A and B are shown apart, each in its own frame.
Chain A
Amino acid sequence: MTAKRLYNENDIRSALNEMAQSLVARVSVPKSQWVLVGIHRRGVPLAGRLAAALDERGFSSLPVGSLDITFYRDDAGASPLDPVVQDTNLPFDVAGKTVILVDDVLFSGRTIRCALDELMDFGRPARVLLAVLVDRGHRELPIQADVVGKTIPTQRDERVDVHLSEMDGEDAVWLSPPGERKGKTR
């Protein structure tokens, strides 16, 4: 068994458009209250793309920030760190805002727990929504996304890799059997 490409560039684009549409339908506060926050690494370009999709729907120039959750992880030392810890960059005050947290894959939910902890250290948002491109199931915490691009049924030990042209040279979602991995994903 080898890695399968589940989605391509067009699929990802239309998924992001649907996510933007669904956010517009769900969030009633004025656009001045919206901010997008991508989780490193692939949540960051996705947040940028989601902002562009929202721009087309009348929500122009929404602020976009990024979170690196490394120092908020609950497994310090248990697994290797990312080789390069990225910067958290929130160039706005999150207090009172409606924050749309963006990530590529929702799996155990632990990353989102860390992201929420970190976000709260910056201030008290009025509301936090979670938007993910892929929900692959197998949650270990009671965390769900508000907006999902694609839902993929998986085995727990399979791998789901989202590739984005900004860092991987292609737009694709790959499903790989245990122990295998499609391309470089870091």
Chain B
Amino acid sequence: MAVSAGRAERKNAMKDLLGLESLSAEQIGYILDVARPMKNLFTRSIKKVPALRGRTVALLFFEPSTRTRSSFELAAKRLSADTLSFTASTSSVTKGESLLDTAKTYEAMKVDFLVMRHAASGAPELVASAVKAHVINAGDGSHEHPTQGLLDIFTILEKKRKIEGLKVVILGDILHSRVARSNLWGLTKLGAHVTVCGPSTLIPAGLTDVFGPRVTVSTDLEEALDGADVINVLRLQRERQQGDYFPTLREYTELFGLTTDRLRQAKPDCLVLHPGPMNRGLEISSEVADGPRSQILDQVTNGIAVRMAVLHLFAGPEGLPATVPDGKQTAKAVQTTFKALS
């Protein structure tokens, strides 16, 4: 019986990480559970383990990024994988090569992972269907940024020891934010209540239809912050603000900037997250960003651990198992292992 169950697991295993939408709560829990011992490796003098020795991770960044790319690169290196970097501006893309041709070229070099960032939503999915390598979405358009969602949840879990029942506010430009989408999927699957808050022009319609009753929408920051356990402040993506979404930056800060004063509306132990890079003084005040509630630098550290867990768990020929061994235990494991830490 154990053998046939094993085969079924393999059959539905997931080759690629395209978004948190397609992961079960159990799979998310499994990744977070492996991220915790990964983070403990950082305290050793030798931070590198041989888990992915001989594997190759190609970092295909068609959009500028420093932190996500550095984070993936370091994650791969700490697992002893080899990495190679690709930046669109210095590549054959400028000579007109298509996305699939670029991806297939890397596949022909026998890389095991394509970690990919692209301005077009769905680009990683297109590539994933065309190559055998594992595709890890490092942010696609306004679709998803799954490892950012995972690291945000990991950061919350580390401090709050649970996700279920927490009130999480996602503040800012929800419309263009892949970080918001990945957070919404991950947090609602794990049982959090999410309030999205921002100018009505930057909140997509029908959010509750997609994410269900655990999500509420507010355009009043003070109301949204009432009783919040976590505030995830999004970067105001000025490069995407071509339309007239709001009158002036000053008005945006006035209404939606997170300040120490406003933070008093939230619970006293409320965590403040920001995926970076920050526009200090615009969506978040320096006082909050550098204050005691800020988790921003922890997020950076946790990002490496979470990406190590992702690379490690997807490294098998078939990728992440659909149901993890001893699944019943693991469904609760997210909560229990983090509880055991305290």
Contacts and interface: CB of A to CB of B under 8 A. Distances in A.
Contacts of B330: 83-84
A68 B37 contact: yes
Nearest to A69: B49
A87 B338 CA distance: 12
Contacts of A70: 37, 51
B326 A83 contact: yes
Given A73-B51, A186-B326, A80 B321 contact: yes
Given A76-B316, A77-B315, A181-B2, A85 B33 contact: yes
A84 B337 contact: yes
B248 interface: no
Interface in A29-85: 68, 70-73, 76-78, 80-85
Contacts of B52: 76
A154 interface: no
Interface string A82-99: 111111100000000000
Contacts of A87: 36-37, 40
Contacts of B316: 76-78
B50 A71 contact: yes
B30 interface: yes
Q: Size class of B's contact patch?
A: 35 or more
A85 B37 contact: yes
- Give the size category of A's interface with B: 20 to 34
A183 interface: no
Contact of B325 (A68, A80, A88): A80
Interface in B36-55: 36-38, 40-41, 44-46, 49-52
A117 interface: yes
Contacts of A169: none
A88 B3 contact: no
A118 B44 CA distance: 11
A81 B34 contact: yes
A76 B52 CA distance: 7
A97 to B, nearest CB: 16
B290 to A, nearest CB: 31
Given A72-B49, A73-B51, A121-B46, A88 B313 contact: no
A121 B80 CA distance: 14
A76 B315 contact: yes
Nearest to B327: A83
A145 to B, nearest CB: 24
A72 B50 contact: yes
Contact of B312 (A68, A76, A121, A122): A76
B51 A76 contact: yes
Instruction: Indicate the member of A71, A88, A117, A179 with the most B CB atoms within 10 Å.
Output: A71
A117 B50 contact: yes
Contact of A83 (B3, B79, B325): B325
A88 B37 contact: yes
A141 to B, nearest CB: 16
Contacts of A73: 51
A81 B33 CA distance: 12
A87 B317 CA distance: 26
B194 to A, nearest CB: 27
A186 to B, nearest CB: 6
A88 B43 CA distance: 11
B9 interface: yes
Contact of A88 (B33, B34, B40): B40
B333 interface: yes
A78 B10 CA distance: 11
Given A71-B51, A117-B50, A179-B3, A84 B329 contact: yes
Contacts of A122: 44-46
Contacts of B46: 121-122
A81 B313 contact: yes
Interface string B2-41: 1100100100000000000000000000100110111011
Nearest to A80: B325
Contact of A71 (B312, B324, B327): B312
A83 B229 CA distance: 29
A71 B2 contact: no
The 3 A-B residue pairs whose C-beta atoms are closest, nearest first, are A77-B316, A71-B49, A121-B46
23 contacts: A71-B38, A71-B41, A71-B50, A71-B51, A72-B49, A72-B51, A76-B51, A76-B316, A77-B316, A80-B324, A81-B34, A81-B313, A83-B327, A83-B333, A84-B33, A84-B337, A85-B36, A85-B37, A86-B37, A88-B40, A122-B44, A122-B45, A186-B326
